[in-house]
Amino acid sequence: MLDETLGDPQCPPEVRELKDRVADFVRARILPCERVLDSGGPDAARTLHRLRREAKEQGLWALPLPVELGGQGLGLRSYAHVAEAEGASEHGPAALGSASLLDALMLARHGSPRVRERYLAPLVAGELRASYAMTEQDAPGTDPVLTATRAAETEDGWRLTGGKWFVSGGDTAGLVTVLARTDGRPLERDGLSLLLVPTASPGFRVVRELPVLGAAGQAEITFDGVAVDADHLIGERGKALAVAAERLQLGRTLRCLRWLGQAGRAFDLMRERALTRSRSRGPLGDLQLVQRHVFESLLALRTTRPLVHEAVSRLDAGADAHVEVGLAKVAAARTLQLVADAAIQVHGAAGLGPDTALPALFRTGRAARILDGPDELHITSVARRVLRTERV
């Protein structure tokens, strides 16, 4: 998807061809369908189904998923380059089968034999959608010890009561992984557990859709005494935060890669506009202030990409990546918002309307500074770690 102006010098030659194929698929197949996919409903579902079938036919389905789960086993370092091209569209991961990566890995590593046998194959095949519910109105995801959702133990499992909001895909998912307190008292780190809840269970209810700056995709859900089987406990009882931390590190890094892809898309639109928009005194790109937008955007992209790939490398090596992921998350979110804003400015009124992807890209950039932890959380967390260690 990215113009060669941006480049990706770290991309190995053997991955370049695959990245180009994914970029071509996103450009030719997914981008023309974005309005339909954004609209939801039957037309969106049919379109997504068709795109998934085409991705499978072209050998582009579930690239980073393990082979034993039905994926193609592309390693994290290689997939990182592909994820940037794939993420140029918000719908890229879902259409290409990588959206299930976090849930599939979590269930494969921490799910019971029955959970793995029952859910993994349809999840990887795109026949089942899963979501993750952590945040509550009065208990932000950044402070999970305040979680008020509770699960009481029964003879054959758990009885779940409470609610979550801003659950991505919570209104269309077949499974929701829920953070709940099973033991202990509020403010205790131990005692929090993860429960896998089929959304068809009695007592599960979608309260409402929660548009993010006008865009759909988030939901508020409640659990009114939902019965959860004992073997639907994910990981060890009371040790949810260890599983959540493992998931969040990778999830934040994947988001960063996809934000880079969207920032690159905004840059391409800005560059094209600067080159083709004529004024009475010549091309728009001749203006020094427009050139400054181009320069600042390119600088942000070129300096952010190495930060994100450094986080990828440390995660892939199994090393502590808290500092690298925190730096990458803040930098990638800022870059997407900065580049999208600059592209809108260069487009003028056209950048505010429905004829380009820029409003959606800017909206994603603004939301990115809150999703997966606000900037302030990562800034203070990274600073504290650096101040108490020698590693910079």
What is residue 357's DSSP assignment? S
Mean of per-residue pLDDT scores for the chain: 93
pLDDT score for 142: 80
**What's the rounded mean pLDDT across residues 328-332?**
97
pLDDT score for 4: 41
How far apart are alpha carbons 315 and 133 in whole angstroms? 24
CA end-to-end span of the chain, whole Å? 33
Q: Which of 3, 5, 61 is nearest to 29 (CA)?
A: 61
Report whether 298 contacts 266 (CB < 8 A): no
Residue reference for tokens 């995709």: 217
Task: State the pTM of this model.
Answer: 0.93
pLDDT score for 390: 63
How far apart are alpha carbons 60 and 33 in whole angstroms? 18
pLDDT at 392 over 70: no
Task: For residue 150, give the H/E element and its range.
Answer: strand 150-154
pLDDT score for 8: 72
Report whether 120 contacts 104 (CB < 8 A): yes
pLDDT score for 391: 61
Report whether 296 contacts 303 (CB < 8 A): no
Where are the alpha helices (H) located in the chain, listed in sequence order?
13-25, 34-39, 41-57, 76-86, 92-96, 101-110, 113-124, 240-276, 288-316, 322-347, 358-368, 375-388
Q: Which of 114-123, 199-208, 276-285, 356-365 is the least confident region?
A: 276-285
How far apart are alpha carbons 263 and 304 in whole angstroms? 11
pLDDT at 169 over 50: yes
Question: With bands split at pLDDT 50, 70 and 90, how would you rate the model's confidence at 36?
Answer: very high
Phi, psi of 277 (to 5 degrees): -80, 120
Reduced to 3 states (helix: H, G, I; strand: E, B; else coil), residue 107 is: helix
Instruction: For each of the domains in the chain, give its residue range(s) and CATH number, in order of start.
Output: 13-106 (1.10.540.10), 130-234 (2.40.110.10), 242-388 (1.20.140.10)
Q: Which of 74-83, 273-282, 373-382 is the least confident region?
A: 273-282
**What's the rounded mean pLDDT across residues 329-334?**
97
**What's the rounded mean pLDDT across residues 173-197?**
92
**What's the rounded mean pLDDT across residues 124-136?**
95
**What's the rounded mean pLDDT across residues 323-341?**
97
Reduced to 3 states (helix: H, G, I; strand: E, B; else coil), residue 7 is: coil
**What's the rounded mean pLDDT across residues 132-149?**
89
Report whether 97 contacts 124 (CB < 8 A): yes
